Chain A
Amino acid sequence: DAGITQSPRHKVTETGTPVTLRCHQTENHRYMYWYRQDPGHGLRLIHYSYGVKDTDKGEVSDGYSVSRSKTEDFLLTLESATSSQTSVYFCAISGDGKAFFGQGTRLTVV
């Protein structure tokens, strides 16, 4: 299995608070992604990174920001969490045209 770790695995937070999710890889892959998965919507890309300090928006980026200061870490921040951001968040990495996923973070915004 590829070395990709998400933290935390579960989080409950209150509406309006900032939240940061972390993705850490040990594969030295250039590309890293954040997805959210919701019933009826499947996997949707939030943001992705193609190198240190190089990021771009996906299809559902509103309300989210990302940062990548090191190859191995990709952070996803919910600037002011809302109930619509309750979801399961997956980090992925890709190299040589193949993708690997983390185990996911279940985020509940109350």
Chain B
Amino acid sequence: KQEVTQIPAALSVPEGENLVLNCSFTDSAIYNLQWFRQDPGKGLTSLLLIQSSQREQTSGRLNASLDKSSGRSTLYIAASQPGDSATYLCATIQGAQKLVFGQGTRLTINP
């Protein structure tokens, strides 16, 4: 059974810092890994999708990497802004397109 873990559970940093969010998974037989953002009281917004054959994906100030052999993915946020404050979740996608989520990292960027 796939287990996805995100560390840390919460992170608070000053504006402008570069930061890394971590996601680890126990079963490396995944199709894809997807990072989401969730604002309070809202749904999940897809940020980046990394296919199993890829090592990383970039979108603006966000960069996500994937190392299947070690069961890890990282989300790098450059030059953080207060608007980046949200909960970030990673999910692995396996057979039958099942998603398994981590518990998320609650990120606060302080002005």
State the A residues within 8 Å of B (CB). 30-31, 33, 42-43, 45, 48, 50, 56, 90, 92, 94, 97-104
A97–B46 alpha-carbon span in the complex (Å): 12
One of B13-21, B60-68, B70-78, B100-108 contacting the partner: B100-108
The interface bits of chain B over 75-107 (1 if a CB of A lies within 8 angstroms of the residue's CB, else 0) are 000000000000001010100111101111000
Which of B43, B46, B93, B101 meets A102, CB within 8 Å? B43
List 21 A-B pairs, Cβ < 8 Å.
A30-B97, A31-B96, A42-B101, A42-B103, A43-B89, A48-B96, A50-B96, A90-B43, A92-B44, A94-B97, A97-B31, A97-B49, A97-B51, A97-B93, A99-B34, A101-B43, A101-B44, A103-B42, A103-B43, A104-B42, A104-B43
Which of A30, A56, A99, A103 meets B91, CB within 8 Å? A99
Instruction: Tell me if B98 and A45 are in contact (CB < 8 A).
Output: yes
Nearest CB of chain B from residue A94's CB, rounded to whole Å: 5
Q: Which residues of A contact B103 (CB under 8 A)?
A: 42
Q: Which residues of A contact B43 (CB under 8 A)?
A: 90, 101-104
A65–B96 alpha-carbon span in the complex (Å): 19
A63–B21 alpha-carbon span in the complex (Å): 35
- B28 close to chain A: CB less than 8 A: no
Nearest CB of chain A from residue B2's CB, rounded to whole Å: 11
Instruction: Tell me if B32 and A98 are in contact (CB < 8 A).
Output: yes
> Which A residue sits closest to B30, measured CB to CB?
A97
Instruction: Tell me if B34 and A98 are in contact (CB < 8 A).
Output: yes
> Which A residue sits closest to B91, measured CB to CB?
A99
17 additional contacts, CB 8 Å, given A98-B49, A101-B46?
A: A42-B89, A42-B101, A42-B102, A43-B101, A45-B98, A48-B96, A50-B97, A56-B96, A92-B44, A94-B93, A94-B97, A97-B31, A97-B49, A97-B97, A99-B34, A99-B46, A101-B45
Nearest CB of chain B from residue A27's CB, rounded to whole Å: 13
Nearest CB of chain B from residue A37's CB, rounded to whole Å: 9
